[in-house]
Amino acid sequence: MSELPEELEVETENVWDGPSDGKPKSIYELFETDSTMEQQGVVVDFGPYGRFKVARASGNNIKYAQSFQKHNRPYQKMQRRGTMPEELARQVLAKVYAESILLDWEGVIGRDGKNIPFSKENAIKVMLDLPDLFTQIIAESQNAESYRKEYVEDATKN
């Protein structure tokens, strides 16, 4: 491998956490995800606060890509110019996530102590009312490791 100029070098964390036997490993072991899980979602468990079924926000999830394009199309000029208000951007993204990423939930209780049934409208409202939850859902949907077959199998064993 050719040497990079010092200013282009980036320190990275060693992502291979298994024992090194010195043998080359397939890059697929490290990065390959399960496209079915990416589209059908994985469960993110917040204990007594509810369980959320979250699909992956990536190009492999066609429903996400289509929803993103559909909901962002009217705002392309504002986005290119950098003039789209942050609140509007959050509202658009919440619609995209409610339509294609946040697939279901259970055990979600409102301020009044009553169960909030899952629906697209309720998902948008909850994500906009609770920006920290929305941020967590976004992070989970972008975490490739959660959509690797090995990872899910290990998590269900524990």
**Cβ burial 51-75 (10 Å sphere, 16+ → b, else e):** ebbbbbbbebbeebeebbeebbeee
Q: How confident is the model at residue 14 (pLDDT cuts 50, 70, 90)?
A: low
Give tens-digit pLDDT for 116-154: 999 999 999 999 999 999 999 999 999 999 998 765 455
Task: Classify the C-alpha dihedral 128-132-137-143 as positive or negative.
Answer: positive
Task: State the pLDDT confidence band at 69, using cuts at 50, 70 and 90.
Answer: very high
**Residue 44 token pair:** 């993110």
In terms of phi and psi (left: phi > 0; alpha: psi -120 to 50; beta: otherwise), the region of 148 is: beta
Between these two residues, 53 and 31, which has the higher pLDDT value?
53
Banded model confidence at residue 15, pLDDT cuts 50, 70, 90: low
Residues 102 and 127 sit within 8 Å (Cβ to Cβ): yes
